[in-house]
Structure 1
Amino acid sequence: MKTTRTFIALACALICTQAANVVAAEESYSLTLKDHKFSPADLTIPAGKKVKVAVKNLDSTPAEFESDDFKAEKVIPAGKQVDIVIGPLKAGTYEFHDEYHETESKAHLTVK
């Protein structure tokens, strides 16, 4: 019984370590959303890599980060920040926006 518990504990530790390594390997980027506009309006990330983008909503209303080009969708409450994992993507330009204010919030993701 003790051997089984030890094995399970070691297996869990290994899985947690591997998960931490995957997260640590991701590059991180930041976007802010203010007055329904993303800053920067053109974010550049590397091709072929998974990255984490922290999106902070500085507006007093919720926003929804969305891209039909790279299939992302995430609600960001007013005054909060969320992390969005993007990629890996091929080189090119991809559009993203706040679905609640699409016309004024269109921005681009450049992948090189």
Structure 2
Amino acid sequence: MRPSTVLTLALAAALVGLPPAAAGEDPVFDVQFSNGVISPAVIEVPANKRFKLELHNHGSTPIEFESIPPRKEKVLAPGASSFLVFRSLREGDYAFFDDFHLDMQPARLIAR
């Protein structure tokens, strides 16, 4: 395949939103919400590196992912999924919680 064809295909994939076929893709972590319960309760993420949290609300009520120090929040309707991209977190322990279910124990992101 000619180099110009490869470049054209890569550009078309980027414009359509297809992920690149590169080995250095950002790590992805799934977070499940169900009527106030967050699973897993502890997620170890890479410090000082970009990563993505995929959020899934399996409950019958809306949820709001909230983490105050990194300034991240996202509301999901019942049955909805979405994601948050973190550009970088310094080493540390970051609480996150469902702002619509404050009676439940917060979960934690541990950046190492």
TM-score normalized by structure 1? 0.77
Question: How many Å separate the matches in 2 of 1:49 and 1:15?
Answer: 24
The CA deviation at 1:16 is 2.8
Letter in 2 for 1:16: A
Report if the CA contact (8 A) 2:96-2:109 is conserved: yes
Letter in 1 for 2:34: K
- Percent identity between the two aligned chains: 29
Tell me which residue corresponds to 2:39: 39
Q: Which runs of 5+ in 1 are unaligned?
A: 1-9
Q: Which runs of 5+ in 2 are unaligned?
A: 1-7
Report if the CA contact (8 A) 1:51-1:87 is conserved: yes
Question: Hey, which of these two has a bigger chunk of helix by percent?
Answer: 1
Count of residues in correspondence between the two structures: 100
The CA deviation at 1:102 is 2.0
Letter in 2 for 1:95: A
Tell me which residue corresponds to 1:16: 14
Letter in 2 for 1:96: F
Point out the structure with max Rg over C-alpha. Answer: 1
